[in-house]
Amino acid sequence: MARISRLNAHYCSAIDNGDLERWPTFFADDCTYRILTRADFDAGRDFGIWFCNTRGMLLDRVSSIQSVNVFEPHVYRHVIGPTEIVGVDADGTIRCETSYMVVRTGYEGTMVVFSAGRYVDAVRMEGEAALLRERTVVTDSCRYDTLVALPL
């Protein structure tokens, strides 16, 4: 459990502190990252706001965020709850869920609760490291005040 807690802390820190190059390193090579609304998740839909199914796609997303995409400067600040282990697969993959909230601060200093929901994860232990094999960000709302430009 400590390794998963460390993984989540480092994951949030990398995003919140603008160190997006680190973000893909928290995932296994054969990973899936997606952001879905709760309605889409409950309906069993796989595609939503974001979908990446390899670490290479995550690296490409970071590259586009840094050099191609144009959006209002802002930062996120994550607040996460305790992680609940919901199961362990036969291959040792740990299934877990963690509640999160992201506060978005715009360039003028305005803060809003940008997103809240839960991470539905499949975590693989590799040596001393915990890596995300899957992270599905399930957002409680389908409404955003602006583009979801950065990973949640």
pTM of the model: 0.90
Task: List the beta strands (DSSP E) in 3-152.
Answer: 27-37, 50-52, 74-88, 94-106, 111-126, 129-139
What are the phi and psi torsion angles at 40 (to 5°)?
-65, -40
Strands 129-139 and 111-126 turn out to be antiparallel
Token pair listed for 79: 């607040």
Q: What pLDDT score does 98 carry?
A: 98
Q: Where are the domains of the chain?
A: 2-139
Q: What pLDDT score does 74 carry?
A: 77
pLDDT tens digits for range 87-122: 999 999 999 999 999 999 988 888 989 899 999 999
pLDDT tens digits for range 69-90: 555 777 889 999 999 999 999 9
The answer, yes or no, to whether residue 65 has pLDDT greater than 80, is no
- CATH architecture, domain 2-139: Roll (3.10)
Neighbours of 25 (CB within 10 A): 14
